[in-house]
């Protein structure tokens, strides 16, 4: 007799969605310079898109400025373009092989835009979690060796796990929105 879906695997997949959400959030700025801010930036280098940290060293110059020390002088323009086109609202300044990224003061409008992005990322994570739930529920329904009573019990267990992970995503969302909206 089968005991339904592999709950460790389901939980692992749901945790993957939460981890991905945390990574997305780390790239959203909250007013302080952080190298994580440039993590989502890609640079067109050598004919393909590469993460910025594979073409240079990203560092914090001061509390309001990031710097990218580009390893290949020929890629300085591509790094600058990648940062400018990233949708982060940044305007890099090139100084030899170093691209400086001053962080502008965040306006109320920019904070609201970032809060909307936080909502979109959180919703995408919740959808991913629900997709894992759906897969688990389908596994339970498809397994004819499980008695109906046990199927119901297993479905309740999958739902409880889903509710926990969705709540976790919502808590992360609320925390990040609060951080962004602080002046």
Strand order of the β-sheet with 56-62 is: 56-62, 65-70, 98-102, 93-95
Consecutive 10-residue runs of the chain (183 residues): their mean pLDDT? Answer: 74 93 78 76 88 90 87 90 85 90 83 88 95 94 90 94 96 91 73
Long-range contacts of 60-66 (CB under 8 A, 24+ apart): 60/33, 60/34, 60/35, 61/33, 61/100, 62/33, 63/32, 63/33, 64/33, 64/102, 64/103, 65/33, 65/100, 65/101, 65/102, 65/103, 66/33, 66/35, 66/37, 66/38, 66/100, 66/101, 66/103
**How far is it, in rounded angstroms, from Cα 110 to Cα 129?**
29
Looking at residue 96, which CATH number applies to its domain? Answer: 3.30.1360.40
Q: Indicate whether 117 and 173 sit together in one domain.
A: yes
Q: Indicate whether 90 and 111 sit together in one domain.
A: no
Q: Indicate whether 79 and 126 sit together in one domain.
A: no
* pLDDT tens string 70-114: 998 988 999 999 988 887 788 899 988 899 998 877 788 878 888
Looking at residue 161, which CATH number applies to its domain? Answer: 1.10.132.20
For the chain, how many structural domains are there in total?
2
Q: Is 1 part of a structural domain of the chain?
A: no
Q: Is 2 part of a structural domain of the chain?
A: no
- The length of the chain in residues reads 183
pLDDT at residue 181, as a whole number: 82
């Amino acid at each position: 007799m089968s005991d339904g879906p592999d709950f460790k695997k389901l939980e692992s997949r749901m945790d993957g969605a939460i981890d991905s959400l945390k990574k997305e959030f780390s790239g959203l700025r909250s007013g302080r310079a952080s190298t994580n801010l440039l993590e989502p930036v890609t640079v067109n280098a050598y004919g393909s898109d590469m993460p910025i940290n594979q073409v240079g060293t990203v560092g914090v110059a001061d509390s309001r400025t990031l710097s990218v020390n580009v390893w290949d002088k020929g890629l300085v323009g591509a790094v600058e373009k990648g940062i400018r086109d990233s949708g982060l609202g940044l305007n890099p300044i090139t100084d030899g092989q170093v691209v400086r990224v001053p962080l502008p003061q965040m306006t109320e409008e920019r904070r609201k835009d970032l809060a909307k992005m936080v909502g979109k990322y959180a919703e995408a994570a919740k959808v991913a979690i629900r997709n894992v739930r759906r897969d688990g529920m389908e596994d339970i329904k498809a397994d004819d060796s499980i008695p109906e009573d046990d199927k119901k019990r297993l479905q309740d267990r999958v739902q409880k796990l889903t509710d926990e992970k969705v709540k976790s995503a919502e808590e992360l969302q609320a925390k990040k929105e609060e951080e962004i909206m602080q002046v």
